[in-house]
A and B are shown apart, each in its own frame.
Chain A
Amino acid sequence: MIAASIVSAATMVALGILGLAFLLTVYRVVVGPTLPDRVLALDMLVAVAIGFIAVIAIKTGFTLYIDIAISLGLVGFLATVAFARFILTHGTSDGKERLASPTITAEGGLKPAAGKKPRKDGRRKKGGQ
């Protein structure tokens, strides 16, 4: 009797905390400045949904939900891999990233300058040959 009430109270508290985590992650999906931020937040949403499924499995007593949680994890992994391939092929055509990269090469200071000198030497050698 006491054990059942402890477990049911813990499931209610866990559902509340998971709902708060879900809302925070949805905020990052909506706000997130770049596409990889949104993909990362969607991956986190899948993890929170797996947690929801586990808590519902305890609350209702249907342990078949574990299989659903495992298959949802597989789908989420495949979705993240597909989004990563998409970012790899289509991510360079934005204007913001081209604005962001020269500031950091300017901060890098010596290393890009040291990288440019051998290129010029190589071009001269190719021209000489």
Chain B
Amino acid sequence: MELVAAVIVAFLLLAGALFALVAAIGIVRLPDLYSRMHAASKAGTVGSGLLLLAVGVHSQELSILARALAGFLFFVLTAPIAAHLLARAAHKAGHRLTPPSVRDELMKDQTGRRSYKTKG
């Protein structure tokens, strides 16, 4: 039983660390702010969340496991909000998409609004 718990904890530790490494490689390799954001806010959140879950399983107490799950839930809730705020602020500040990306719906939306405003 103890061996099973240790194997689960080791698996969670290695999986979380590898997710964080994948997120860091994505931040370095990807060409654009908006594509780097995919790597950072998804893989990075899952990486730190799995490491917290490993602490909860390793302690084998219900209160600490509940605390680790609460931390994981908090990160999962706040990471998309932070990424969305940062992407929207960067887009409004004038940072555009790089050429491999196909279309920019927000910019089309802005030009449409401007034309409507001048019409009315």
On whether the beta carbons of A97 and B6 are closer than 8 Å, the reply is no
In the assembly, what is the distance between CA of A61 and CA of B17, in Å?
Answer: 19
In the assembly, what is the distance between CA of A7 and CA of B3, in Å?
Answer: 10
In the assembly, what is the distance between CA of A89 and CA of B28, in Å?
Answer: 27
In the assembly, what is the distance between CA of A4 and CA of B10, in Å?
Answer: 10
On whether the beta carbons of A14 and B119 are closer than 8 Å, the reply is no
Question: What DSSP secondary structure best describes chain A's contact surface?
Answer: helix
On whether the beta carbons of B99 and A51 are closer than 8 Å, the reply is no
In the assembly, what is the distance between CA of A60 and CA of B68, in Å?
Answer: 17
In the assembly, what is the distance between CA of A105 and CA of B93, in Å?
Answer: 16
What is the chain B residue whose CB lies nearest that of A85?
B89
A92 CB within 8 Å of chain B:
yes
What is the chain B residue whose CB lies nearest that of A97?
B94
| Given A58-B55, A104-B97; A21-B21 close (CB under 8 Å) | yes
Q: Which residues of A contact B21 (CB under 8 A)?
A: 17-18, 20-21, 24
Partner of A24, one of B13, B18, B24: B24
On whether the beta carbons of A36 and B89 are closer than 8 Å, the reply is yes
Can you list, as one digit per residue, whether each of A14-56 has a CB less than 8 Å from chain B (1) or not (0)? 1001101110110110000010110111011001101100110
On whether the beta carbons of B25 and A14 are closer than 8 Å, the reply is no
Q: Chain A residues in contact with chain B, CB under 8 A?
A: 2-4, 6-7, 9-11, 13-14, 17-18, 20-22, 24-25, 27-28, 34, 36-37, 39-41, 43-44, 47-48, 50-51, 54-55, 57-58, 63, 65-67, 69-70, 73-74, 77, 80-81, 83-85, 87-88, 91-92, 94, 97-98, 100-101, 104, 107-108, 111-112, 115, 118-119, 121-123
Q: Chain B residues in contact with chain A, CB under 8 A?
A: 2-3, 5-7, 9-10, 13-14, 16-18, 20-21, 23-25, 27-28, 33, 36-37, 40-41, 44-45, 47-48, 51-52, 54-56, 58-59, 61, 64, 67-68, 70-71, 74-75, 78, 81-82, 85-86, 88-90, 92-97, 99, 104, 107-108, 111-112, 114-115, 118-119
